[in-house]
Structure formats: structure tokens, C-alpha cells
Structure 1
Amino acid sequence: MSSPEHKQKIWHLIKQIKTAMLTTRHGDELRARPMVLVQDEYDGTLWFYTDLSTEKVLEIERDHDVCLTFADADHQVYVSLTGVGRATRDKTLINKYWNPFVAAWFPDGKDSPNVGMLEIKVQKGEHWDSDSSAMVKMFKTVQAKVKGEQPNLGEHEKFGTK
């Protein structure tokens, strides 16, 4: 878990990225697929629309542990979040976050029997945030190598416990 301030920091890092790769377990394999955030704020739980008849939902029902990764290579922001997932048909949530983008994926509308939400309760994570350009990073890396040190390429922080 993390403090309210840290949750806001994570939200600041991921809200513009919007798309995460959701990793689930499929037997002995790990599988990842893109998912798009739909919420406007973060309190430790992330929400995504899903078709409840998909394999990812079955995978989450079998093993609730999931990982979400967000990456913005242009701004050198990377976030990995581990948590517990579950699928729900909660109509209040479906109505709350429904928008034209989501409607394009569900042609039968929000009352379709397959429309649902994935709830991911984040338990721990890690983030990297570097405001340096590739050229600056290369210079810092070479400079650190010459000095026998590790390069400081920006902020890196782990948080939470399982």
C-alpha cells in the first residue's frame, strides 16, 4: 500500500499514458494485453472495461495476481504495478465510466451481457522517471563508468508490500 501522496504521484505518472499492459497467468505461461484506463482519479484501485467472456477474465478468476505496466518512452516514464484483479458487472461502475471510446468496443451498448469492469487493487509497484534526453543519459552513463559509479538517470522508487 502507499500513502495518499504517493498514490497521487503514481496517478500523475500514469494518467497521461492511459494504456497499460495487463499481465495474467495462463497455466504456466504469462500473457499480456493492452488495457485502457477509464477513471479520472486514483485511490489505489484501477478500472478497465472488459468483455467478460474473454480469456483474461478466466485467467484472473483462476489466479487473481496481475501486473500492469505503463511506458512512455518519449518522456522516459515507466511504471510497474502488482495487484489483485477481479471482474465485475457492477452497473453503477459501468455507467459511471461509459464513454464513446468504450462504446466502440461494445456495439450492443452498456447493457450487453458481456460488458464488465476489471478492478485491479494495487498492492505494490515500482516506477522510473527520467527527465533526461537520450544524449544526456548516454553522457551520464559514460561519466559514471569512468568514475566507477552507477549513473543517476532519474528517479526510481519501489513501494508497497504484498
Structure 2
Amino acid sequence: MSDLTLKQLAQQMRGIDLCMLATHTSYGHIAQRPMSNNGEVEYEGTSYFFTWKASRMVEDIERDAKVSLGFQGKEGLFVAVEGKATVTEHRPTMAPHWTPDLDQWFKEGLDTPGVCMIRVDAVRIAYWQRGEEGEIKL
């Protein structure tokens, strides 16, 4: 059993751009989607993603806020995050998390009609790397 701190794990996660975000559908299934995690962000247990307010993912989250995130990093690092998601369309809350890379999907930036942000606050983080594993509870 490994005993990494959140700060140590965050260092190892730095640079991971994509993760899989899983929600619970209205039919009781689990749906996963690749989402950009903006790998340059300093991870402190909260993740931010931009999407469309009218998406099925947002509908799933508004019905059941329990989500999971799956990351795969360098040197055999795997990270599973269980968390609670919230959705906001409040521009001042979204602005600090916006990066120019998002303009490829949202042509008018934060002023794009229908854009929203998903915030995932981690509750539990499990990780595995080269035979070592551990868990961080937040």
C-alpha cells in the first residue's frame, strides 16, 4: 500500500489532459465520455469541464450528482476519482477556468450560447502505479 498525499499525486497527474467522466443515466446505465481536464491545472481535488447545457451528461448530473473520473498517466499511473458534480452557467464562476484551447469547441468563448461548466469535487481518490496502490479520502 502506498501513502501518497494529494499534493504528491497531483504532481504525478500534471500534464494529463484527458479523462473519462462517468455519469448515471436515467435508464440506470453508466455513461462515460472523454473530457479535457486541461493538464496544466494544479489538481487539488476539484476538476472543471466545459460542455453544453443541453447535453445528456448535464441532464444525468442534474438528476444524480455522483460521478467518477478515470485518468491514465505516465509510467503506468491510473487514477479513479469518485465525486459530486455541479453545473453552472454563471460566467464569473466559469471565467477563471477558461483556457484559449476551449475556443475550438465554443467559438464565442464564454459568450457562446449554451455553454456551461461542470465542477467535480472529489470525495475519494484511488490510484495504482507499478504494483503500488493507495487511496486518498477528502
Q: Fold match, TM over 0.5?
A: yes
- Mark the runs of 5 or more structure 1 residues left unpaired by the alignment: 131-152
8 A Cα contact 2:70 2:78, kept in partner: yes
What is the TM-score of this pair, normalised by structure 2? 0.86
Residue equivalent to 1:124: 124
Of structures 1 and 2, the one scoring higher in RCO (CA 8 A, sep 6+) is: 2
Tell me how far apart the structure 2 counterparts of residues 112 and 80 of structure 1 sit (CA, whole Å): 31
User: Which 4+ stretches in 1 moved above 6 angstroms?
Assistant: none
Q: Distance in 1 between matches of 2:98 and 2:134?
A: 33
Which residue of structure 2 aligns with residue 60 of structure 1?
Answer: 61
Which letter maps to 1:17? I
SS at match of 1:102: helix
The residue type paired with residue 16 of structure 2 is: I
Cα separation, 2, equivalents of 1:6 and 1:110: 34
CA contact (8 A) 2:19 2:71 kept: yes
Q: Equivalent residue for 1:11?
A: 10
Looking at structure 2, the residues matched to 160 and 109 of structure 1 have their Cα atoms a distance apart, in angstroms, of 35
> Distance in 1 between the 2:114 and 2:14 partners?
26
Please provide the CA RMSD for this pair. Answer: 1.8
Matches within 5 A, 1:2-151: 6-26=5-25, 27-38=27-38, 40-72=41-73, 75-130=75-130
Of the structure 1 ranges 40-49 and 18-27, higher mean CA displacement relative to structure 2 is found in 40-49
Decide whether the 8 Å contact of 2:21 with 2:35 is kept in 1: yes
Letter in 1 for 2:31: R
Normalized per residue, the structure richer in strand is 2
Matched-pair contact (CA < 8 Å) for 2:65–2:84: yes
CA apart distance, 1:80? 0.2
Supply the AA of the counterpart residue of 1:63: D
Superposition deviation, residue 78 in structure 1? 0.2
Structure 2 unmatched ranges of 5 or more: none
Which structure is larger by alpha-carbon Rg, 1 or 2?
1
Task: Tell me the distance in 1 between the aligned counterparts of 2:42 and 2:104.
Answer: 23
Deviation at 1:95, TM superposition (A): 2.0
Relative distance call for 1:90 and 1:8 in structure 2 (3 A) is: farther
Identical-residue share of aligned pairs (%): 26
Which range is displaced more, 92-101 or 17-26?
92-101
Q: Deviations over 1:99-154 (max 9, x none)?
A: 23101101233112311111000000210122xxxxxxxxxxxxxxxxxxxxxx2x
